[in-house]
């Protein structure tokens, strides 16, 4: 019997170890922004020599501040622009550029689940906000949705993998979602996260965009539940640290880790 790991290596475009990504591009107003235009730039890992892999390498320590906006991005040293977005609008994040050397386009190469989050800045200066305040979740995706890749299309056939394709974000280049209609107006960090679950070192990928949310709707809600990041995940928690290469794994029974989504 072939082990699942063998099958993964055989079918992937990139080897497992190199299949990393980051979310440098905010999508809003139906437009893909440039990399790091609206998103805080992350720093390369200091323990990896190859530059593309160093930059894209995942975070694996759930108690590190790097889990908030990416490596070295709690302080806004790249000072991105702020995107003005209306509550109720659709926005998204794209997996790069940059991308790994040799990759055709940047994709979410790993199986796993994604989410989006907001944290209100206490002042109007987003560059001064480290993200140490409260966060609430506004989107969660686990299984396949209408945004997932259609693996029956000829151009997507080699991106299919029996063990991974149950996850909705597998090999997509971007993911879109809605800012809840009743989001209170203000300056926020908008965080996108993808988690590649593993029994030992689950991989956390995340970045933060600077957004100014305008709310022209009559109703304004009270977002929650509120959490801190780091603090929201613990090493070993069963809904983040598990083996997903099991054909008996039933994704329709998988519940994404807390907190639940605030729908507005
Ligand atoms: C939104 O897109 C339209 C057309 O695509 C463009 O004319 C407009 O300037 C854009 N607005 C912003 C804020 O980027
Ligand atoms: C997200 O929206 C952008 C622009 O509106 C689009 O180009 C992209 O294909 C969408 N992503 C998915 C996964 O549907
Ligand atoms: C890390 O962030 C600091 C600001 O907090 C910045 O000055 C420095 O250039 C960053 N390091 C790297 C390697 O980019
Ligand atoms: C997976 O879970 C769903 C929802 O509980 C259930 O309807 C379905 O029968 C399960 N599939 C298998 C193969 O067990
Ligand atoms: Cu990876």
Distance CA 159, CA 167 (A): 13
* Short-list 255, 98, 93, 102, CA closest to 172: 93
Distance CA 85, CA 126 (A): 15
248, 166 in Cβ contact below 8 A? no
Q: What integer pLDDT is reported at residue 18 of this predicted model?
A: 66
Q: Tens of pLDDT along 109-124? A: 999 999 999 999 999 9
Residue 218: band (very low, low, confident or very high) from pLDDT cuts 50, 70, 90: confident
Q: What integer pLDDT is reported at residue 70 of this predicted model?
A: 98
Pairing relationship of beta strands 82-86 and 203-214 according to DSSP bridges? parallel
Average pLDDT, the chain: 92
70, 42 in Cβ contact below 8 A? yes
Strand (E) or helix (H) holding 54 = helix 51-56
For ligand 3, the distance from its centroid to the CA atom of residue 209, given in whole angstroms, is 17
Q: What integer pLDDT is reported at residue 4 of this predicted model?
A: 43
Q: Higher model confidence: residue 189 or residue 246?
A: 189
Q: What integer pLDDT is reported at residue 261 of this predicted model?
A: 98
* CATH code linked to domain 4-253: 2.70.50.70
Mean pLDDT of 40-58: 94
Residue 1: band (very low, low, confident or very high) from pLDDT cuts 50, 70, 90: very low
Q: Tens of pLDDT along 34-44? A: 999 999 999 99
Asked whether residue 215 carries a pLDDT value surpassing 60, the answer given is yes
Please name the residue whose Cα sits nearest to atom 1 of ligand 4.
250
Percentage of the chain modeled with pLDDT above 90: 84
For ligand 4, the distance from its centroid to the CA atom of residue 252, given in whole angstroms, is 7
Asked whether residue 45 carries a pLDDT value surpassing 80, the answer given is yes
Residue of 28, 167, 176 to test ligand 2 pocket, by largest number of atoms within 8 Å of CB? 176
Mean pLDDT of 58-74: 98
Q: Ligand 4 within 6 A of 46 CB?
A: no
Total count of residues recorded for the chain: 264
Neighbours of 171 (CB within 10 A): 25
CA of 250, closest atom in ligand 4:
1
Nearest ligand for residue 171 CA: 2
For ligand 1, the distance from its centroid to the CA atom of residue 26, given in whole angstroms, is 14
Q: What integer pLDDT is reported at residue 246 of this predicted model?
A: 80
Query: Taking the domains of the chain in order of start, what are their residue ranges?
Result: 4-253
90, 178 in Cβ contact below 8 A? yes
């Amino acid at each position: 019997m072939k082990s699942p790991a063998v099958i993964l290596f055989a079918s992937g475009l990139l080897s497992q170890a190199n299949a990393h990504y980051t979310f440098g591009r905010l999508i809003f107003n139906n437009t893909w922004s440039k990399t790091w235009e609206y998103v805080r730039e992350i720093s390369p890992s200091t323990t990896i020599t190859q530059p593309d892999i160093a930059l894209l390498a995942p975070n694996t320590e759930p108690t590190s501040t790097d889990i908030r906006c990416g490596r070295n991005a709690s302080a806004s040293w790249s000072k991105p622009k702020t995107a003005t977005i209306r509550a109720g609008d659709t926005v998204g994040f794209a997996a790069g550029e940059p991308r790994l050397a040799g990759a055709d386009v940047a994709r979410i190469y790993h199986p796993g689940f994604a989410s989006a989050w907001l944290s209100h800045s206490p002042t109007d200066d987003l560059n001064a906000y480290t993200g140490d305040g409260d966060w609430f979740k506004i989107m969660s995706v686990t299984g396949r949705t209408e945004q997932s890749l259609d693996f029956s299309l000829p151009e997507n056939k080699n991106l299919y993998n029996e063990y991974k394709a149950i996850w909705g974000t597998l090999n997509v280049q971007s993911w879109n979602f809605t800012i809840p209609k009743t989001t209170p107006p203000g300056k926020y960090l908008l965080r996108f996260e993808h988690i590649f679950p593993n029994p030992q070192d689950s991989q956390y990928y995340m970045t933060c965009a600077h957004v100014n949310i305008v709310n022209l709707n009559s109703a304004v809600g009270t977002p929650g539940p509120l959490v801190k990041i780091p603090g929201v995940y613990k090493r070993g928690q069963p809904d983040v640290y598990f083996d997903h290469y099991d054909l008996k794994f039933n994704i329709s029974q998988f519940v994404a880790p807390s907190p639940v989504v605030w729908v507005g």
